[in-house]
Chains A and B, each alone.
Chain A
Amino acid sequence: MQAMLAGFAAIVIIAIGANLVLDQIGFSSQDRYSGADVRLDTMK
């Protein structure tokens, strides 16, 4: 049971970590289509 809970906890930790990393490296579709010259992108 403990191993199962540890596995589930690891899923949460990995997911949060992955989100932080993926956000940093900018590989979203939005980033692939957009660029620094695009003024319509108000999120940046």
Chain B
Amino acid sequence: MLRMALALVLSLIVAIPALAQESDRTSTGGAQTLEDIMARQSGQNVDSTFRSGNTGDDARAKDMREQLGTLGGVSDPELWRAVRYGSADTRVSNQSEAADVLMQDGGMWWLTFRDGPVRIYGGWLLLGTIGALLLFFLLRGKIGIDEPMTGRTVTRFKAIERFGHWLLAGSFVLLGFTGLFVLFGRSFIAPYLGKSFNSNLLIWSKFVHNNVAWAFILGLVMVFVMWVVHNIPNKTDITWLRQFGGIIGKAHPPAKKFNAGQKMIFWSVILFGTSIAVSGVSLLFPFELPLFAKTFAMLNWTGLPELLGFGVLPETMSPQEEMQFAQLWHAIMAFVLTAIVLAHIYIGSVGMEGAYDAMGSGEVDEAWAHQHHSIWLDEVLEDEKSAAKAKSGSATPAE
């Protein structure tokens, strides 16, 4: 009995959406029914081809020269339906593909997603990361230098390396804050500081975001060129990871110029940063650099989206939809990279004694270098020794 009841409930659950999609529209003469409207309002996927294709037919109209002739076979509702579904023959003086689109209902999906999941999950990701770092600091405290300071220093980063780092870091911070203002300003700044303040702030944020972006791209290229050689994974990384880099526990695993943790930060910055830069440039030059229809076509070809349950991704989209996908991708990637960079800022400042000096003055104490980058220190000292030997050798007067 229980099994039958369960079967009945299950069959009803399966049948209700099916009923909603296959509704009989004879009562409305083929127009949408109350079931269609209710299904759409409850977020179900309604097949709208019965409307999108219903845009009139001039061939069926009586010729205007005939008695009771008409000016065409397209009524006003049919004309507007064609405008809404993008099949109307629209011509504008601007003659661009984007300006031809008079109605773009994909915009509602984008707005809902941007104002909903992107802001909620993105916001909590950043707050959660800050909370986790605070908790870690309370539990672990500042990672100190075990050995006494030697007073002798070695050059960790040259001036050009530090310049590239701060060019990237400074622009990232500016882009991060202005991006957050643009995304959250209307909800979290305007209600408290007023719409006028928010409006001025966002005008400036847009100015900063659009123009500082180039400094970020230059910094990204500099950092990649200068450090890629030192960030290729090798065997020492396995040891470092096995000992959690000495962040948890008391061990100090050997490392070259960059340890496995720094390599992860480097590749995250390069990959996510490039992705953010490319989508950002696409947004900076509206409708000129569409990325997503082509990317989706390639992904569909692999069959992965269907395998993962996303169905077939759209391969044709309006120029505006391209921009909407670029904006969402830009924001999601930026949230992820910001969370990673927060951890980097923590360990480079309050989290570890002596870490800031490496990027501040560029000089680090040998005790610090020995604890965190022992293999690199040995290499540097060896180089210094051979350089000094060569110098003293060349200074010896010829006999």
Q: Which residues of A contact B (CB under 8 A)?
A: 1-4, 6-8, 10-11, 14-16, 18-19, 22, 27-29, 32-35, 37-38
Contacts and interface: CB of A to CB of B under 8 A. Distances in A.
Contacts of A18: 210-211, 213-214
A6 B162 CA distance: 10
B141 interface: no
Given A4-B162, A18-B211, A38-B93, A11 B167 contact: yes
Given A11-B174, A32-B96, 11 more contacts: A3-B166, A4-B162, A7-B169, A14-B214, A14-B215, A15-B215, A19-B211, A22-B284, A27-B286, A28-B286, A38-B94
A22 B265 CA distance: 32
A1 B360 contact: yes
Contact of A33 (B96, B207, B284, B285): B96
Contacts, number: 80
Interface in B332-385: 359-362
Given A27-B286, A32-B96, A7 B214 contact: no
Contacts of B95: 35
Interface in B180-239: 207-208, 210-215, 218-219
A44 to B, nearest CB: 14
Interface in B244-298: 284-288
Nearest to B97: A32
Contacts of B174: 11
Interface of B: 93-96, 98-99, 159-160, 162-167, 169-171, 174, 207-208, 210-215, 218-219, 284-288, 359-362
Nearest to A6: B163
B96 A16 contact: no
B158 to A, nearest CB: 9
27 contacts: A3-B362, A4-B166, A4-B360, A7-B163, A7-B165, A7-B169, A7-B170, A7-B219, A10-B167, A10-B215, A11-B212, A11-B215, A14-B212, A14-B218, A15-B214, A18-B213, A19-B210, A22-B211, A27-B284, A29-B286, A32-B99, A32-B286, A32-B287, A33-B99, A35-B94, A37-B93, A38-B94
A37 B287 CA distance: 20
A16 B93 contact: no
Contacts of B160: 3
Nearest to A7: B166
A15 B208 contact: yes
Contacts of B288: 27
A22 B218 CA distance: 17
Contacts of B215: 10-11, 14-15
Which of A4, A11, A29: most chain B Cβ within 10 A?
A11
A2 B159 contact: yes
Q: Which 9 A-B pairs have the closest CB atoms?
A: A7-B166, A3-B162, A15-B211, A7-B167, A37-B93, A35-B94, A14-B215, A18-B211, A11-B215
A34 B95 CA distance: 10
Contact of B159 (A3, A14, A28): A3
Contacts of A35: 93-95
Nearest to B208: A15
Nearest to B162: A3
Nearest to B213: A18
Contacts of A32: 94, 96, 98-99, 286-287
A35 B30 CA distance: 41
A14 B164 CA distance: 14
A15 B212 contact: yes
A10 B163 contact: yes
A14 B214 CA distance: 7
Nearest to B362: A3
A42 to B, nearest CB: 17
Contacts of B162: 3-4, 7
Contacts of A15: 208, 211-212, 214-215
Nearest to B210: A22
A38 B94 CA distance: 8
